[in-house]
A and B are shown apart, each in its own frame.
Chain A
């Protein structure tokens, strides 16, 4: 009898140990946040504790995007469709979903979410004029201005859905004001927004698999606990997610101490090297953007496309990328102002063949300048046909280490070529103001955008720091141009048209036109594309990371984070001990 009891007890112990090892899985991440009293749980207002990539695990969106396949992973929505006759985007919601406070998720929550977005001028309201709950599980978005399905889909499906029980009273006030004809710039709406900015719910209530309980929050870490009532709970392998607070310098020791399983911070190449030596894997997902040289087109000879082309030829972009961010920077291949990762999706093979890659060729650069009547002086500096020496200043935000390194290297290479370039670092806070005001000769600023639709990349490249932004002359690059590749073009119009209408093929044609024009005119010279250098720790707490080259790693870590997706679909698993 004694033996039997002992055997049973031992079995019980083994079973409980095994099950606790599996069920007790914990994932440790890191994201900067501001703790209370500044930080709060009104996820619309600034300084809300939303935790970036982990937000989708608390207040879940309708769907998440898989960048490699261009398909959506349905979450709170099960399907959606576009009615081109009525200009209505209809979303069918998942039934049986519960909020973390026990209430049932319905269409009302979606309506509330988007009407409060109106209060904050969300971009989607440029296209839609109404959000209606058709029934408890169907929502219609009516378009007043027809936009590209991909653009609308992203605005609708990628938005984190908030609880009507928490936010409903404010949403109903927005609807009432809209019914009275009050727009977002009306005094009434502004007053409501000011009032809502101060709204502080005592906790965040979501439909996601993890609960953010304020009791588990300190200034240094937050522990998210599993929500057993989550609609897809059986797929979730972790019981807890610990999110450490902090920016890169603060998170670095934690990664080194193997306390963090994954982080998206921008680590310097030297730190990254140390991680690799310690056996920590580095994942390099594309960010779909990077730094470029912006020119002040008011200054002669930057208004000549040949000069800009010569500059592109005079810089060894591979070198510039490597010295700036090691393996996490890759030179632009196609030089279209669009991420090379998005090129296959938007540009046909035929168009790609027509693109100039601007490979390093200082001889050709010199030939171009000579052809313009420029001469090299005895001091090795080029002199324009108007007799001015090519000596310029390159403005860069001093705090952005990778951009500053890119600027230093580009300046060095240009000076070696004969365009004397001096780097001037100014604070990141002042840099955009200076560029928008046109107070620069050359400047390093961002190109591209982490959005699958090419419209947003071209908006960044040609509008953000240009006169159409309405925030100053910026680089003052005229958007009506005559080109050899596509003839006369109105780039501003093309950018707008690229996101309008339902005809995706037509949009691709417009994007191709933009790409060819950009490639020829080079209003800005993209230096390289940034890739993440995300440390991923295998085998300590988390395992089953997909191998390098897996399509999931094409997801932008800041837009549709692949780790979030892999936690939701159960790919990542806790280590069983």
Chain B
């Protein structure tokens, strides 16, 4: 017993070390890659003022003067050491483009909204997807299966931002079923955050369109994966044996087929953690939803290096932690799999 315990501890220890190493590598790569991107915050700002507003170079340069306090000419090695030193202290630095605004403050303002909208949509999409996928598999060859599979294939092929725009234009503008302007953003003006019905109702109404978009754009993938996985499971010997033993159909469906068919999808679900933390820059921009994806999109457009680095790092950590948790949970879901390869 103590041997297994020791091994278990050792395995976790190794995984933790590996995770830290991955985070370190990603942090380093991100630091250098964002600086390799064409242009810098000052050039971009001046260029935008000139091309968009017909501003003269002198005036644009003056307007961008506030940005010149950014020391982009400091040696890269020096910038890197400062960045890593701050990172070890949990300090992501301050935004280049809004001097004095800590990146951590920005993340704490944006991230909860992404977790809220994407989290709910993953939950809905996953639940609906696996249900529909299972039904399709059970009704293989039926009209329902054909229709479902076709719809799922179409939906999974359409980019989510296109679905977002279509929802907005068709439901909001053409049909006028929803108030387009009132549903933008995360919360209505004047609604104070708190655990009360007004606030909860308000944030759900604002998140409705992003959630619908995420669900519509991902449900097809879950449905098809679950259908395929269920079909494979239905052909397994233990299902035939269960049927031969005369077990109730509901028990076979949920305990034998459903549980086993779900296992491969579980890995995909954990991978969605990155999406949960990163959101979608395009969707959040379309609906003016103050999430982390929006912040990332804006920071990339403006080359706000500290914000970009922080968001990429958070996504990486989220994926690593989710995988780690998935590994641990896998053994619980499937007793055949043992931690540490035993």
B19-66 at interface with A (beta carbon < 8 Å): 37-39, 43-48, 50-59, 62, 64-66
- Assembled-state Cα–Cα distance A221/B101 (Å): 22
Given the interface contacts A38-B95, A249-B286, does A254 sit within 8 Å of B181 by beta carbon?
yes
Given the interface contacts A218-B186, A429-B44, A430-B39, does A464 sit within 8 Å of B57 by beta carbon?
yes
Does B127 belong to the interface (CB within 8 Å)?
Answer: no
- Please determine whether B47 and A431 come into contact, CB atoms closer than 8 angstroms: yes
- Please determine whether A427 and B51 come into contact, CB atoms closer than 8 angstroms: no
A99-152 at interface with B (beta carbon < 8 Å): 120-123
- Assembled-state Cα–Cα distance A123/B63 (Å): 9
Given the interface contacts A190-B69, A250-B288, does A221 sit within 8 Å of B54 by beta carbon?
no
- Please determine whether A121 and B288 come into contact, CB atoms closer than 8 angstroms: no
Does B184 belong to the interface (CB within 8 Å)?
Answer: yes
- Please determine whether B39 and A35 come into contact, CB atoms closer than 8 angstroms: no
- Please determine whether A432 and B66 come into contact, CB atoms closer than 8 angstroms: no
- Count A-side interface residues using an 8 Å CB cutoff: 72
Given the interface contacts A429-B47, A431-B47, does A46 sit within 8 Å of B181 by beta carbon?
no
Does B190 belong to the interface (CB within 8 Å)?
Answer: yes
Spot the interface stretch: B148-156, B165-173, B238-246, B329-337.
Answer: B165-173
A41-86 at interface with B (beta carbon < 8 Å): 44-47
- Assembled-state Cα–Cα distance A430/B38 (Å): 5
Given the interface contacts A46-B97, A429-B303, A432-B47, does A121 sit within 8 Å of B185 by beta carbon?
no
Q: How far is the CB of B261 from chain A (nearest CB, A)?
A: 40
Of B44, B99, B180, the most chain A CB neighbours within 10 A belong to B99
Does B67 belong to the interface (CB within 8 Å)?
Answer: yes
Task: Type the 1/0 row for B268-296, where 1 means its CB is closer than 8 Å to any CB of A.
Answer: 00000000000000000110111000010
- Please determine whether A200 and B100 come into contact, CB atoms closer than 8 angstroms: yes
Does A297 belong to the interface (CB within 8 Å)?
Answer: no
Does A300 belong to the interface (CB within 8 Å)?
Answer: no
- Please determine whether A45 and B98 come into contact, CB atoms closer than 8 angstroms: yes
Does B208 belong to the interface (CB within 8 Å)?
Answer: no
Interface size, B (range)? 35 or more
On chain B, the residues within 8 Å of A250 by CB distance are 285-286, 288
- Please determine whether A449 and B54 come into contact, CB atoms closer than 8 angstroms: yes
Task: Type the 1/0 row for A340-359, where 1 means its CB is closer than 8 Å to any CB of B.
Answer: 00000000000000000000
- Assembled-state Cα–Cα distance A122/B55 (Å): 14
Does B189 belong to the interface (CB within 8 Å)?
Answer: yes
- Assembled-state Cα–Cα distance A559/B87 (Å): 43
Task: Type the 1/0 row for B212-255, where 1 means its CB is closer than 8 Å to any CB of A.
Answer: 00000000000000000000000000000000000000000000
- Please determine whether A429 and B43 come into contact, CB atoms closer than 8 angstroms: yes
Given the interface contacts A35-B290, A38-B98, A219-B290, does A427 sit within 8 Å of B54 by beta carbon?
no
- Assembled-state Cα–Cα distance A198/B69 (Å): 11
Given the interface contacts A254-B181, A448-B54, does A122 sit within 8 Å of B105 by beta carbon?
no
- Assembled-state Cα–Cα distance A466/B60 (Å): 17
Q: How far is the CB of A326 from chain B (nearest CB, A)?
A: 18
Task: Type the 1/0 row for A198-240, where 1 means its CB is closer than 8 Å to any CB of B.
Answer: 1110000000000000011111110100000000000000000
Does A572 belong to the interface (CB within 8 Å)?
Answer: no
Does A390 belong to the interface (CB within 8 Å)?
Answer: no
- Assembled-state Cα–Cα distance A558/B55 (Å): 9
Partner of A219, one of B43, B286, B288: B288
Partner of B99, one of A194, A216, A218, A219: A194
- Assembled-state Cα–Cα distance A407/B193 (Å): 50
On chain B, the residues within 8 Å of A200 by CB distance are 100
- Please determine whether B65 and A121 come into contact, CB atoms closer than 8 angstroms: yes
Partner of A459, one of B58, B168, B169, B288: B58
Partner of B53, one of A34, A122, A216, A558: A558
On chain B, the residues within 8 Å of A254 by CB distance are 180-181
- Assembled-state Cα–Cα distance A249/B51 (Å): 18
Does A485 belong to the interface (CB within 8 Å)?
Answer: no
- Please determine whether A46 and B45 come into contact, CB atoms closer than 8 angstroms: yes
- Assembled-state Cα–Cα distance A253/B56 (Å): 32
- Please determine whether A216 and B190 come into contact, CB atoms closer than 8 angstroms: yes
Q: How far is the CB of B63 from chain A (nearest CB, A)?
A: 8
Does A39 belong to the interface (CB within 8 Å)?
Answer: yes
On chain B, the residues within 8 Å of A36 by CB distance are 109
Of the A-B pairs whose beta carbons lie under 8 Å apart in the complex, a sample of 8, sorted by A's number, is: A37-B105, A38-B106, A193-B69, A428-B47, A429-B44, A433-B39, A556-B54, A558-B54
Known: A122-B62, A288-B54, A464-B50. 5 other contacts (CB 8 A): A37-B105, A220-B288, A221-B189, A250-B286, A257-B180
